[in-house]
Amino acid sequence: MSSDSVEEYLEAIYAFNEKGELAKNTELAKRLKVAPPSVTQMIQRLAEEGLVEYQPYKGATLTGRGMALAQNVVRKHRLLERFLHDTLGMNKEKVHNEACRMEHSVSDEVALALCDALDSPETCPDDGSTIPPCPMEVDDCEECAILRESETPRLLTELSNLKPGERGRIAFIRAGRKASQRLLDMGFTKGAEVQVVNAAPFKGPLEISVRGSSLALGRGLASKVFVEILNGLLKPEHVHPHGPHH
């Protein structure tokens, strides 16, 4: 499967997941304008690659690995929409399709420069969707402009996006002083390895293993911790079906 095709599917699944919905095959077929059997086949392959978690007859959610890849392409897409609308003056109705054509060829470095040039926008113009967060450990665009000359952006996602069995290495924490200190006190320090043991669906809490301890962490606080994915999913029998605290 081509990288462009994979990105299209991950992006489509992301559109449902960010609203707290499972991505159903029939809805994906409509959105991507492909035959339902083709969607079923691709979802199965993405599941085998550890990029999605699929529940037959219900739908798909992105794993932490899948989310990291999806956020990367969605961020480029929505930044491109902003550029096309805000800088080039294109109509809102046209920017989505144009951004779809361009997103796969935009490098990570160009995406960072584009974000800087647009003054770090938070939403896209056509439907107001949120632009995924900057993957750089910086406080502002000026600092980002300096770092992107020497550092390659890493493929990151928030800890809240990992599925049970996935492990990550903490890249940085992006939060206020009190929340940052609370996380540090709990053991969420830069470079530490974390694993999601169990997770309630979507907005429910996570059970996290960090520095030899197991603790419950709310999704809001977990979303402040940015991690690099270290592995895929464990086999289903290693994960308790009823979520945290079991």
Given a cut of 60, whether residue 30 has pLDDT beyond it is yes
Given a cut of 70, whether residue 235 has pLDDT beyond it is no
Given a cut of 80, whether residue 1 has pLDDT beyond it is no
- pTM for this prediction: 0.88
Q: How confident is the model at residue 150, as a pLDDT?
A: 81
- Across residues 19-37, what is the average pLDDT? 95
CA distance 174 to 190: 11
19's CB contacts (< 8 A; 6+ apart) are: none
Given a cut of 50, whether residue 225 has pLDDT beyond it is yes
Joined tokens for residue 123: 């939403």
Given a cut of 80, whether residue 243 has pLDDT beyond it is no
CB 9 within 8 A of CB 34: no
Given a cut of 50, whether residue 29 has pLDDT beyond it is yes
CB 188 within 8 A of CB 176: no
All domains in the chain, ordered by first residue: 3-62 (1.10.10.10), 67-147 (1.10.10.10), 156-238 (2.30.30.90)
- Dihedral pair phi/psi, residue 68, rounded to 5°: -60, -45
Question: pLDDT band at 241, cuts 50/70/90?
Answer: very low
Q: How many Cα atoms sit within 13 Å of 189 on the Cβ side?
A: 3
Hey, which bits of the chain come out as E strands? 52-55, 59-62, 156-158, 167-173, 193-199, 206-210, 213-217, 225-229
Q: How confident is the model at residue 244, as a pLDDT?
A: 41
Identify the residue whose tokens are 């609203």: 19
Q: pLDDT tens-digit profile of 39-98? A: 999 999 999 999 999 998 899 999 999 999 999 999 999 999 999 999 999 999 999 999
Q: pLDDT tens-digit profile of 131-149? A: 999 999 988 888 888 888 8
Q: pLDDT tens-digit profile of 146-203? A: 888 888 888 999 999 999 999 999 999 999 999 999 999 999 999 999 999 999 876 7
